[in-house]
Structure formats: C-alpha cells, structure tokens
Structure 1
Amino acid sequence: MEYKQHFAAILYGAFDQQLEEETIYQMIEKPKLMSHGDLAFPCFALAKLRRKAPQKIAEETANAIDDPLFVKVEADGAYLNVFLNKQQVAADVIKNVLNERENYGSQNIGNGGVVTIDMSSPNIAKPFSMGHLRSTVIGNSIALILEKTGYKPVKINHLGDWGTQFGKLIVAYKKWGNEEKVRKNTIKELLQLYVTFHEKVDQNPSLEDEGRQWFKRLEDQDTEAMELWKWFREESLKEFNRIYELLGITFDSNQGEAFYNDKMDRVVHLLEGNELLTESEGAQVVDLSDDEMPPCLIRKSDGATLYATRDLAAALYRKETYHFVQSLYVVGNEQSLHFQQLIKVLKKLGYDWADGMHHISFGMILKDGKKMSTRKGKVVLLEEVIQEAIELANTNIEQKNPNIEDKNKVAKSVGVGAVIFHDLKNHRNNDVEFSLEDMLRVEGATGPYVQYTHARASSLLDKGLTKINVNQPILLQDDEAWPVISEIMMFPEIVERAVKSYDPSLVAKYVIDLAQAFNKYYGNVRILEDEQQKFSRLALVKAVSVVLKEGLRLLGISAPKEM
C-alpha cells in the first residue's frame, strides 16, 4: 500500500471532495521531526473554501478520521499530523520489497511510450574530457529512471563529427602535423594541433578563413578532406568506446551530425514552403522577434549549414523513425537559447509534437573554480580520472580487505561508481567542482559510502544464515527501525519525482539518506543476537540491500557484495 495515497484518499472524503485527490496528495508532507508524525497535511488551502481558520479545519478533521492504519491523528496548528501503525506498516513495507525485489518502485507512468535521449555527444578528434562526463552520466541515469517508470528510452550519441572545427583541424594537421606521431597517439596529437591552431590564430587571423575554406571542401565531399575526416572520426570512436565500456554505458544509436548532411535540404525547403525564411546580412534565418528571441540561423552567406539546420533535420528524423512521445536533449545550460529556438521553429512549421521536446540542461564541471577549455588545453581527461579512481580504490582494498574475491572487479566498481556519484549527487543545473579526493571518501555523501553500506548489509545476511521466507510473520519491535522503514517507503515516490523532473540527484540523495538511516540502526541494534527478533531484523536488512542496490542501479552504479 502507498500510505501517502491512502491518506490522500481519506482526506478527499473528509474534505467533501472540495480539493482534488491528486492536489491533496501533492500537498502531503513528511514532517522534519518524527515527534510530529509520519505524514502531515497543511490546511491553509481549505481556509478560503470553507471560510474557516486552517487551525479549526485541522482540529475538526483530526476528530473525524478513524482508520486502523493510523494510531494517532492530531492537529498541530494548521497542520493535520498522522502517526502510522508502525508494526503493521513495517511488516507491509518489508514484505512488499521482498516480494517485488528489484521491481520495487517500478511504475507505468510512461505506458510504453518512446523517449529519445540525445546525450554524451563528444566532438571527434578531441579527447573525452571530464566536461563530457555530465551529459553522459545524467543522460544514462535518466534513461534508467524512464525505463523503471514504463517508458522505452532510446539513447542517442549525437557525435560532434561535423562543423568548421574540422576545417581548422585539417589546416593545423597540414601545417604542423606529423603523420607518424598522429598515428601513434591520435587523440593527444590532434588535441595539441587544435590548441596550436588557436594559439597561432591570434597572430594570424587569416587562419580562420583557411579553416572555413577547408570545411567548405569537406561539405563538397573533397577527397583529401573526407579521408582525413574519416580517419579522425574512426580513431576518436575507438577511444570513446573504451571509456563508455569503463562507465558501463551503451547507446542505441551513434549517428552524429554528419549523418544529417543529406537531410538538411528538406528542412530548407520546408521553411521556404511555409514562407518562414528571410534574408539577414546575406544569411538565411527564421525571424523569431515575435517570440522575443534572436533570429534562428539556417544557412550562412557562403551556403554552409548551421547547428540549427542539422538539429531540425535530426528532430524530424527521430520523430519519423522512433515516433517518440518525448525527445530529450541532455546538453549544457549555455545552449538553452538554441533549444528554445529549435522548438519554436518546429512549432511554426506546425509540428505540435515539438511540445514533447525538452532541453535537460546542466552546469559545468569546474577545475579550481574555472571552466575547463579544450581550446586552451586546460582539460582533465576522463579516462585518466577513472583509472586513478580505480587505482585508489584498489589501494584501499589492499589495506582494509585484501582477501576479498574479484579485487579488480570490486575496485573498478568502486572507482567508476565514485566518479559517477560525485556528479549525480548534485542537481544537474549546479556547477560541480572536480575533486578526486572528495569522490573516493568512504564517509559522507559519496558513492563508496553507499556501496559500503550495501556490502555491510550483504555481509550481515551472510552471517545471519537465515533464509528470508516472505510468508513468515514479520514482527519488528525496534523503535530504532522506524527511520529506516520511513526511508524505504519513500522510494517509489522518489522515483516518480525523479522521472517527472528529469533529476537523478533525487535518487542519489535518497540512497545517501537510506544508507545513513541504516548505519544508525546498525550502530544501535545487535541485529543477530536476539533469536526472537533475528528473522524480522534480517528481513529489514534484506529490504535495505534490495533498495540500495536498485537505487544505485538507477544511477548507473553497481553494488558489490564485498568491499
């Protein structure tokens, strides 16, 4: 049973249906102090409807409610507080988790609808930096949460494999590149060439024109330009796939910007046919002044296409290919105007499905408070960070628990989990300060802390040697267990809130709260020593291990049984 929903249904009747049941549900709170009950409803919204003081409404409703699930209903000022029957609820919650296991918290909000997710999307011929981590792990977690709530996610790695930067890179390679060096260490050398180009362009601005000319040759399918581009792309993909494998992330499509080269004329014709294209300083644009936005650039004066043209073509292709109900773009905050323009242009073309397109924005990863820049060579390579995290995890295991099985596998799980969790515990729109030291702490709000708690629960279950039979009565008499039960009860609602707000940080914060509640319980109760309570306590431990493991999975993190 969903107790918040049950409370909402009772209040709906008690309030003579003056408020919608869903409205009541959304208004129900979990009190900060347990002494104020398990659920609370603020009566302010009814004051106008009933022409009574909210305190009076709370008092009258408290006297009118009689339900076996509530051991106490009381008015506290304008709040109506209820205290749940802890023994009954604890038994029901634990049985729910043990019966449903990894399906606990699953819902069918999406009803099988397809959601495309444009995520990760690094630029080829550049290293996969820490800056790309956010789109990759946020997108992956959102996909997992969507799947748990009844949607069918389609993860698209829209590679940055086209644009004027490739003209610049070809110029840099032809002027300063060394084929042997590039073949030996492709990405590192190409990055250095890209940095060199931007250093030299300050003294020689004509290099920009050369870059544009080479990109035009690329667009015209010039043989030399195409061969270099294909080489840069293939080598980059090899590096990216190695990193995705480390992160445990896969994609349903790797179609990048170049895939849409033959699909953009259609966009231009559609815009012309709808009389939406106008000329501005030699370029073709869609005027968005009525919507208080700058014009959307479709084609430059030299005929070259732009991001908007390509993204319009991609949106049409994805709608026709996948028939999505939602289309998400997991892209940094700085691109918000671009996506506002994109959706507005599609709406002007008469495509109402553009209402289902959403920009899932996020902040930057900072190093010493500053943005990382590929142009200036100030970049922290993601693969190096992950490898360092794995090595540190390995060292910790050697010091604390050298006899565990699959040491390397556990170290990889902890190292990778630490990097992912450090990102996802922050709300996606906040900037994140990069700190390897903070990531790997086994105490505080970190991935290793949650993984360690799961391992501790697994160890207790192994020591308890008790087969958890879900049909056996659960009689949990520990007052100390209630904060843990309260957290477990919250999981389905957290999943629902996370999917509706596209916010994995809700799940990350939740697993921290559950881990802290369990560790406090573990510190206060001798779980294995009381034979009468042993089964019920271990059933609670099992429920905690199931929910922690599933919560971590929704973040794209594994949960080792030993650490």
Structure 2
Amino acid sequence: MEKEIISLQLAHLLGESFKQKDIYDQLEKPKYKDHGDVAFPCFSLAKHLRTNPKQIAEDLSSKLDHPILSKSEAVHGYVNIFLDQDFMTEHILSRVLTEGYGSHSFGRGENVVIDLSAPNIAKPFSMGHLRSTVIGNSLANLAETCGYTPVKINYIGDYGTQFGHLLAAYKKWGDAEAVRQAPLKELSEIYVRFHHESESDPSLIEEGREWFKRLEQGDEEALALWKWFRELSLEKFQDIYDQLDVSFDLTRGESYYSDKMETTISLLESKGLLEESDGALVVKLDEFDLPPCLIVKSNGTTTYATRDVTAAIDRYQSYSFSKSLYVVGNEQTLHFQQIRRVLEKAGFAWANDMYHVSFGMMLQDGKKMSTRKGRTILLEDVLKEAGNRAGDNKIGTGAVLFHDLKHYRQNDVEFSLEDMLTFEGITGPYLQYTYARALSLLNKTSFEKKTGLSDPGAWELVKQLHAFPDETARAFHEFDPSIVARYLLGLAKYFNQYYAGTKILQEDQLDERLTLVYGVTLVLKEGLGILGIEAVEEM
C-alpha cells in the first residue's frame, strides 16, 4: 500500500513524463533503519531534469505529504521517507489477521506442472535425492499460495541403459533372498560392483547394453526382473515420502513412455528435424549454439531426451499448463536446454513455458554424493538420527528440510547433521523454538484481538510481518524457496529481539501486544507450511 501511495505522490510532483510504475520500481528499503522506511534515489532523474540529485531530493522531500507519512528527509541525493508507525501498525496487523494473509490470486485458473523428486528405482533414497523433493514440494506450496493449481509429478527413473547394467549385474552376482530382505541395499551394492569391475572389464558395459535392448524389446526374463525391482523400490520410497509428508498427484515412470516414443520420433521426422549422424538420429540445434540432441542411438535404443520430449507433450495435452517446472540438478542444464529447443523447433509454442529449476549438489566432505561410486548417505538414516537427537521426529525432519531450503537453490549444500540440529542461528529448530515461545505467551492469558498498538519497539517486527506477501510472490516468481526461509529467520530474529526488550504481558496495551504475537504465530506457521515443515507447539 505505502509504496503505491508514495510512487503516486512522487509521480504527481515530477510531472506527466514520469510514470508511476517506473518510480515504484526504484523505491528501496534503506540499509539503515535511521534512514527511514522507504528511500527514493534521485540520480537517474538528474539528466532529465537538468538538476543535481541533491537538489531534486530536497525539492521532493519538501513537498511530499500524506497521512501515512510522518516525515521525509533529503540525504545525499536520496529522499528518505518515514512512515507513520501507529497508522501503519494498525493497518498491517489488521491485514495479518485476515484469512489467507500472504496469499495471492494472480495464478487463479492456471495449472503449474512440477517434476520433482524422481529417484531411480533399485537405488537408495539418498541425501542427494532430498533436494529435488523438498525444493519441488515447496514450489508446489508456493504455487498454491499464489492461486495456481499445482500438479506434482514424481517421474521415477525406471528406464534407460543403467537398468541394463543392473540386470547384467543381477544375473552375475544377484541373490533373490538378499534382494527380498533389503532390496535397495542389495541392488545398490551389485550396481556399484558392476561399475567398479567394468573399469577393468569393458565387456560388462556391452552386456549391460544388450540387457537394456532385451528390456526394450519386451524380453520375458528382463521384463519380469525389472518389474520386481520396480515394485520393491516404490514400496521403500513411499516410506520416505510418508516421513517427509510429501505426496504426489501423479507417480509415473519413464517406462510409461516406452510404447509412445515412436509417435514422437515420427513427429520429429515428419517435420524434417531428424538427421542421421554416425548411425544415430539427432536433431541439430546449431542455431541455438547447442550440440545436437540425440533421439535414437546407433543401436536403435532411445534416450532420456526421447522420453522427456514425449513426456512434455503428454503433460501439456493432459494439463494445459501455464508453467512446467523441472526441479533437477544443475548438471542437467544442457539436457533441458536441448529438450526445450527441440520442442520449439517442432512448433510447440508452450515450450517457452518450460523452466529448468536447477539446484546445486549435496556434498559430503566437499565431494558429490554418488551411488555409482558407493559414496552416499541414506536419507532414511539421517531422518532417524535427526529425530533421535532432537527428541522429536517432527523437529528432526523439519531440521533436515530447513537445512536444505535455507540455501539459495543453485548453491551446493554441505551435509552436516550438527549444523542442522542446533537451536541457535539459522536452523529449523530455532524457528520451531520461536514459534513455541510465541505460543506459550498466548497461552498464559486470555486477550482480545486489537490492532491499535502504539509501540516504537515493535516497529521492525511489524514491518517484517508486512513484507510476507511480497516475499511469497517473489519466491514463486524466482522459483526459490530460500526467500521464504530467510524471511522467516528475519521474522524470528525481530520477534526474539522484541521479546527480550519488552514486557509483553504488562497490563498497558496487553491485548495489542498479544495481537502482535498472535500475528507472528500465524505467519511463522504459514511460512513453515510453505516449506513443508510442520510447526510444533511445545519444545
């Protein structure tokens, strides 16, 4: 509200050649609180007005006037604007108490398809899989907060050359009873052994290719083993999703498209896009400065790209999405650039609505976790240990999730159980503790909700509450849940400062102070929910 009013006032003072939206976009939050609540830099106006920024700022400051403003000052070419704290506090707290505070309607009537999690069957659900799962789930929550209908798709990796490798490994070293007892552990071990031994025996790789070809051709033995591995894997994955409280609207494996890829290949061929290259079929992307996209290998088998192009077409036909998000690691950037350009060349305008929401790696001692190299940490073990150390499974799980989501998604994350579980600093338990502390205040006495708080010591906390809707919208537009995570840390910091410096339960303005505390609990709980974390009431 205040930025709209201020930008309108400034536009009126500057004249018709200055647009209100342009002025709005230039308004800043001052770095220091004694510089006001909103700042307007005048440097870009100097050339147009043929006056120095200092003079422009002084002229504007002397003329700005509105009931929501207490004063304005000209400082070094800036107009520093101070809001009327009592007026704004009542307005902000009234909004915070409104149902759905922090939500938006700009996505109403539109679908957002989100490809998330996507573990590979026959491999353990490691800490490396956590990132796609929790980032994608949080983006789905943000989409819903912004009015969209999210469609969460778990696109299981259950097809491709790697499964030929697994079948070959099982035929050499597999033990059916051991697989039944501990499916992911046993299958992972023989998969790792396969790749270790193939370094000195390249013929193993060829055996793996032959087994995948048999699988593609519907070989009875290959198909039966593959189905068994898939069923066992999905059961184990579900246990993890239940612990994380993550659900999906559709779980579909890459194999679903095995009998649909011929249609895609024919489509690309009919549009004159397929070209032969060393016996393979590719779509050239020279005009985009990208390497050719491999569609059919020289041995006749399909590729990830073939399946992903087919899946993209199917998803648009099924959901008519306004946005399709692929929450997949940074290392797949080239792949998704190629997929999008192939679809674009094929004439699908909606290809421009596909976004690769990339993220960094989960590191262990500075190194990438790798199932193939046998260097991984199982998420199941981490969740169990976190729950034990925290003394509560919800707190432990929340700590693991927040440790991931507090980082800007494209940054790598170093795994550290100790850092996750500390009750001080930028952690999930710190937020949970703050929420429980605020609730304990509310439970000590009854109060009437009143928004007319007059308390300068509460102003920074009130402003932080005010920022919540802007931050949820920004987090969705930037596909970055860490914006919400960092916002909540700021909210907790300002609340704890207020708690430490104010006798909240004193009779004077008791109702108003507890109304502010109540608003903090509402926003903390909503923000944690967006991150997929359940707020706990006692700690």
TM-score grouping bracket, smaller chain normalisation: over 0.9
Say whether residues 1:316 and 2:313 are aligned partners: yes
2:445 to 443, 447, 464: 464
Say whether residues 1:42 and 2:41 are aligned partners: yes
2:510 to 534, 552, 557: 534
CA distance in 1, matches of 2:530, 2:489: 14
Instruction: Name the aligned partner's letter for residue 492 of structure 2.
Output: A
- TM-score, length of structure 1 as denominator length: 0.94
- Number of the residue aligned with 1:229: 226
SS at structure 2 position matched to 1:285: strand
- Number of the residue aligned with 1:513: 490
Q: Deviations over 1:500-521 (max 9, x none)?
A: 1001001000000000000000
CA distance in 1, matches of 2:17, 2:121: 58
Superposition pairs of residues 117-128 of structure 1, within 5 angstroms: 117-128=114-125
- Number of the residue aligned with 1:503: 480
Say whether residues 1:259 and 2:236 are aligned partners: no
Say whether residues 1:328 and 2:325 are aligned partners: yes
1:244 to 233, 241, 249: 241
Q: Deviations over 1:312-334 (max 9, x none)?
A: 00010000000001100000001
- Number of the residue aligned with 1:398: none
Name the Cα RMSD after superposition.
Answer: 1.1
Say whether residues 1:169 and 2:146 are aligned partners: no
Say whether residues 1:68 and 2:67 are aligned partners: yes
SS at structure 2 position matched to 1:278: strand
Residue identity over aligned pairs, in percent, reads 53
Alpha carbons 1:46, 1:54 under 8 Å: kept:
yes
Alpha carbons 1:161, 1:233 under 8 Å: kept:
yes
- Number of the residue aligned with 2:371: 374
- Number of the residue aligned with 1:477: 454
2:213 to 216, 222, 235: 216
Q: Deviations over 1:448-501 (max 9, x none)?
A: 1011101101000000222x33xx4x3323221111011111111111111110
Say whether residues 1:492 and 2:469 are aligned partners: yes
Q: Deviations over 1:190-238 (max 9, x none)?
A: 0001011011111211000000000000000111101100110011101
Instruction: Name the aligned partner's letter for residue 554 of structure 1.
Output: I
Q: Deviations over 1:279-331 (max 9, x none)?
A: 11111001111211100000001110001111100010000000001100000
SS at structure 1 position matched to 2:435: helix
Between 7-16 and 263-272, report the one with greater CA deviation: 7-16
1:451 to 432, 445, 451: 432
Superposition pairs of residues 278-427 of structure 1, within 5 angstroms: 278-394=275-391, 411-427=392-408
Say whether residues 1:99 and 2:106 are aligned partners: no
How many Å apart are 1:10 and its aligned residue?
A: 2.3
Alpha carbons 1:464, 1:538 under 8 Å: kept:
no
Alpha carbons 1:154, 1:252 under 8 Å: kept:
yes
Instruction: Name the aligned partner's letter for residue 77 of structure 1.
Output: H
How many Å apart are 1:162 and its aligned residue?
A: 0.2
How many Å apart are 1:137 and its aligned residue?
A: 0.4
Q: Deviations over 1:412-466 (max 9, x none)?
A: 2211110010001000000000000000111100011011101101000000222
Say whether residues 1:543 and 2:519 are aligned partners: yes
Say whether residues 1:269 and 2:266 are aligned partners: yes
SS at structure 2 position matched to 1:73: strand
How many Å apart are 1:23 and its aligned residue?
A: 2.8
CA distance in 2, matches of 1:131, 1:15: 54
SS at structure 1 position matched to 2:309: helix
Instruction: Name the aligned partner's letter for residue 457 of structure 1.
Output: A
Q: Deviations over 1:322-355 (max 9, x none)?
A: 0001100000001111111111111111111111
CA distance in 1, matches of 2:90, 2:493: 21
Q: Deviations over 1:58-93 (max 9, x none)?
A: 111112211010000111111111101101111111
How many Å apart are 1:549 and its aligned residue?
A: 0.8
- TM-score, length of structure 2 as denominator length: 0.98
CA distance in 2, matches of 1:492, 1:383: 35
CA 1:17/1:352 → structure 2, altered by over 3 Å: closer, same or farther? Answer: farther
CA distance in 2, matches of 1:265, 1:6: 58
- Number of the residue aligned with 1:18: 17
CA distance in 2, matches of 1:33, 1:169: 59
Alpha carbons 1:18, 1:49 under 8 Å: kept:
no
Q: Deviations over 1:116-159 (max 9, x none)?
A: 00110000000000000000000011111111111111000010
- Number of the residue aligned with 2:131: 134
- Number of the residue aligned with 1:52: 51
Instruction: Name the aligned partner's letter for residue 223 of structure 1.
Output: E
The alignment of Structure 1 onto Structure 2 pairs a total of residues equal to: 539
Alpha carbons 1:363, 1:429 under 8 Å: kept:
yes
SS at structure 1 position matched to 2:155: coil
How many Å apart are 1:17 and its aligned residue?
A: 4.2
SS at structure 2 position matched to 1:376: coil
Alpha carbons 1:393, 1:415 under 8 Å: kept:
yes
CA distance in 2, matches of 1:165, 1:54: 63
- Number of the residue aligned with 1:400: none
CA 1:110/1:21 → structure 2, altered by over 3 Å: closer, same or farther? Answer: farther
Between 210-219 and 345-354, report the one with greater CA deviation: 345-354
SS at structure 2 position matched to 1:107: coil
SS at structure 1 position matched to 2:94: helix
CA distance in 2, matches of 1:11, 1:261: 61
- Number of the residue aligned with 1:524: 501
Instruction: Name the aligned partner's letter for residue 508 of structure 2.
Output: Q
Between 155-164 and 6-15, report the one with greater CA deviation: 6-15
SS at structure 2 position matched to 1:495: helix
SS at structure 2 position matched to 1:158: strand
How many Å apart are 1:25 and its aligned residue?
A: 2.3
Q: Which runs of 5+ in 1 are unaligned?
A: 395-410
